[in-house]
Amino acid sequence: MSYLSASLNFLMTAVKKAGSSLTRDFNEIEQLQSSVKGHKEFVSAARERTMKALRNELQKGKPDYAVVVDGEAQPNASHFLVAPLDGVVNFMHGLPYFAVSAAVVENGVVTAGVIFNPASQELFFAEKGRGAFREGFRSHERLRVSGRKDLAEALVSVSDASVLPEAGNRRLQGCLSMDLAMAAAGRFDAVVSSGNNAAAIAAGMLLVKESGGYVYELNQKDIRTDDLASVLASGNLIAVNAELGRKVHELLNK
């Protein structure tokens, strides 16, 4: 389809290939629950395998792009920003809510992003200016943020249980990249999180933007426009639909 550029197709394929090892590892995780030491070592090895596979796949297509892993400093040149296993604690405990996340950053701007949950086999993708989608068997589902207006009825992902008590329903899911994909798909009405590394939020930020939502730096004063560079730099964000955006921002900055 026209919205799937060669570059985006490449990114989707790389993420799915790298994530396939996590599918196998996740199927084995329950057998290791009784061994804490072996359990932790297994999860660490699973993450390393995914990272190695992801690095190899990405550099096949764009060898001049650095692959920056969560927590590493970003170069000024174009690069990939990746989280090989976001939601590692969920993975460790056999909870099927984790993801491989990868974004392309060019001239300081996220231009493409992919989030893949190997447990559910759900893959979400977006390219700047071309919309956000969930992969389907025959056709892809275009994503739209929710239209919910009443915060008391909203479902909000938060990074701290004390955040935004005015929201009717709050969840701590343990995988921010997937939370942002869920917001892009309209399943969450808002996501509020602070202190995150750029790799965990880059692809998800683009998904929310391309599905009609807004992404603000948690403490920014003027929300008439986005400042995505500040969000990436600080790791503090509000991702929300148009109806709830001002309400959430004012409550968090009162």
Nearest to 43 by CA among 92, 87, 86: 92
pTM score, whole prediction? 0.93
- Distance, in Å, from the CA atom of 57 to the CA atom of 64, rounded to the nearest integer, reads 13
Report the pLDDT value the prediction gives residue 136, as an integer from 0 to 100: 84
Nearest to 134 by CA among 126, 148, 22: 126
The torsion angles phi and psi of 216, rounded to 5 degrees, stand at -120, 150
Report the pLDDT value the prediction gives residue 227, as an integer from 0 to 100: 81
Question: Counting beta carbons within 10 angstroms of the beta carbon of residue 34, is it exposed (0 to 12), middle (13 to 18) or buried (19 or more)?
Answer: exposed
Per-residue pLDDT of the chain (254 residues; tens, 9 = 90+): 446 888 899 999 999 999 998 988 888 876 665 455 567 888 888 999 999 999 999 999 899 999 999 878 888 899 999 999 999 999 998 899 999 999 999 988 999 999 999 999 999 999 999 999 999 877 899 999 999 999 999 999 998 888 888 888 999 999 999 999 999 999 999 999 999 999 999 999 999 999 999 999 988 888 888 788 899 989 999 999 989 988 998 888 87
Dihedral angle, C-alpha 62, 117, 183, 51, nearest 10 °: -40
Report the pLDDT value the prediction gives residue 75, as an integer from 0 to 100: 86
CA 244 to chain centre: 21
Report the pLDDT value the prediction gives residue 2, as an integer from 0 to 100: 47
Report the pLDDT value the prediction gives residue 1, as an integer from 0 to 100: 45
Q: Which domains does the chain have, with CATH numbers?
A: 6-142 (3.30.540.10), 151-252 (3.40.190.80)
What single DSSP character describes residue 173?
Answer: -
- Distance, in Å, from the CA atom of 107 to the CA atom of 136, rounded to the nearest integer, reads 31
Report the pLDDT value the prediction gives residue 37, as an integer from 0 to 100: 58
- Distance, in Å, from the CA atom of 27 to the CA atom of 121, rounded to the nearest integer, reads 13
